[in-house]
Amino acid sequence: MFFIKLEPNDDILESLIKAITENSIRTGFFTAIGAIKTPNLGYYLLDQKKYKTITIEGNFEIVSCSGNVTLKDGTPMIHAHLVVSDQKGRAFGGHLLADNKISVTGEIFLVEAGAPLIRTLDDQFQLSLINLD
Amino acid sequence: MFFIKLEPNDDILESLIKAITENSIRTGFFTAIGAIKTPNLGYYLLDQKKYKTITIEGNFEIVSCSGNVTLKDGTPMIHAHLVVSDQKGRAFGGHLLADNKISVTGEIFLVEAGAPLIRTLDDQFQLSLINLD
Amino acid sequence: MFFIKLEPNDDILESLIKAITENSIRTGFFTAIGAIKTPNLGYYLLDQKKYKTITIEGNFEIVSCSGNVTLKDGTPMIHAHLVVSDQKGRAFGGHLLADNKISVTGEIFLVEAGAPLIRTLDDQFQLSLINLD
């Protein structure tokens, strides 16, 4: 099990990839809590086969962030979803896209798996999905 | 630790029970992310002692899904809650009922526990609750 | 791994601290689901360096609750965030404050970490943050 701490202004995905690479983690899952500024949340458009970016201004609690580490072309890849909440307690969620920055702190617990999981491009969705074949 | 992958049109509860049975898992917890179509979310009505079904049309991200495996009358039972989000990023949540189907993918990490946990019918709530007696 | 069950009217933070103390757990992470009455959700006000309390009347599902155990001045401390949902499926979230009581049940799975993590007061935010120095 690994603990990863994120600092103010850290980019979540970049910091995760850095920590995973430094610790030679290839596969596992993680859960995180913390706080974020102006989250960029992804929503996958099935008809267009791509993510739409939903940007919400302001400071938010990260009330849930869970995801996994897998290998794509031999390189660690993060797939994570998050739920954030505003000062009225309203919750918003989506896919963790690039360009999401910590405001106060990020506290991540990652559990490493034994056997690596591999992602390959899925033709139907044009997404990198876990391939168990 | 087990990884379970769900495919488009897979029923979440059915697929989980199948994977758990195949791997002889009796107790543990899991977290999952993915995407779902027209979720059926449960809300427990305390006064009526039963679940109400909240159905929301459309495609949603599964931004959080966490739950556990226990034994009820010797058979594995799933208790899970989920949070989903729509194309405006709005989050909705509830108890994972039957009849919830994956749209794109479901990625589940399950951690097995050593000692089995048992559920029995609780008279007060008419629910199968974990019984530590 | 530990399982902690919460009963109706149990205070979530108090019960967690009691179970952690009884089991001599110093560091780890947990995920939980269950049901709660009239949640008190925290939102950290960056400009005032303190939490605002958001109270929402009624009975709610706990659709996600994740957090960690660390040591502050040698004593276990809980940091957790939760997401709750109402009878229309709407989700709300925030920091788990004191005075949050279970309505039906609380099912918590906690994974203990090997090395303890320590919190110290952070001057910038006036919060007890994990200190890796």
Chain C residues with CB under 8 Å of a chain B CB are 1, 3, 5, 8, 31-33, 35, 59, 61-64, 66, 83-91, 93, 103-105, 107, 109, 111
CB–CB contact C113 A85 (8 Å): no
Q: With a cut of 90, say whether residue B69 has pLDDT above it.
A: yes
Question: Averaged over C53-61, what is the pLDDT?
Answer: 98
The reported pLDDT for the residue numbered C23 is 96
State whether B113 and C109 contact (CB < 8 Å).
yes
Closest of C13, C37, C4, C58 to residue C103, by C-alpha = C37
For residue B35, what pLDDT band results from cuts at 50, 70 and 90? very high
Report the C-alpha gap between A26 and A24 in whole angstroms.
6
CB A93 within 8 A of CB B61: yes
Nearest CA to C43 out of C100, C86, C95 is that of C95
Q: Specify the pLDDT at position B128.
A: 97
Question: Above 90 in pLDDT, residue B52?
Answer: yes
| pLDDT of C114 strictly over 90 | no
Q: Which H or E run includes C99?
A: none
Whether residues C63 and B81 touch (CB distance < 8 A) is answered with yes
* Average pLDDT, integer, range B51-55: 98
Burial environment of residue B52 by CB neighbours within 10 A (0 to 12, 13 to 18, 19 or more): middle
Helix (H) or strand (E) segment spanning residue C19: helix C12-22
| Residue A80: per-residue pLDDT | 98
DSSP helix, strand, coil percent of chain C (3-state; round to 5): 10, 60, 30
Are the C-beta atoms of residues C106 and C8 closer than 8 Å to each other?
A: no
**Cα separation, B79 vs C112, whole angstroms:** 22
Q: Which helix (H) or strand (E) holds A13?
A: helix A12-22
Least CB-CB distance to B104: which of A56, A68, A125? A125
Give residue C107's pLDDT band: very low, low, confident or very high (50, 70, 90).
very high
SS (H, E, C) A75-119: EEEEEEEEEEECCCCEEEEEEECCCCEEEEEEEEEEEECCCCCEE
pLDDT at B114 over 90: no
Q: A97, A41 in Cβ contact below 8 A?
A: yes
Instruction: Name the minimum distance, in Å, from the CA of A123 to any CA of chain C.
Output: 33
Taking residues C84-103, what's their average pLDDT? 98
**Residue A132 Ramachandran class (φ > 0 left, ψ -120 to 50 alpha, else beta):** alpha
pLDDT value for C12:
98
- B33, A93: Cβ pair inside 8 Å? no
**Does the interface predicted TM-score (ipTM) exceed 0.85?**
yes
Question: How confident is the model at residue A89, as a pLDDT?
Answer: 98
pLDDT, one tens digit for every residue, chain A (133 residues) = 999 999 999 999 999 999 999 999 999 999 999 999 999 999 999 999 999 999 999 999 999 999 999 999 999 999 999 999 999 999 999 999 999 999 999 999 999 998 899 999 999 999 999 999 8
pLDDT at A37: 98
pLDDT of C101 > 90? The answer is: yes
Of the partner residues B43, B64, B113, the one whose CB lies closest to the CB of residue C89:
B43
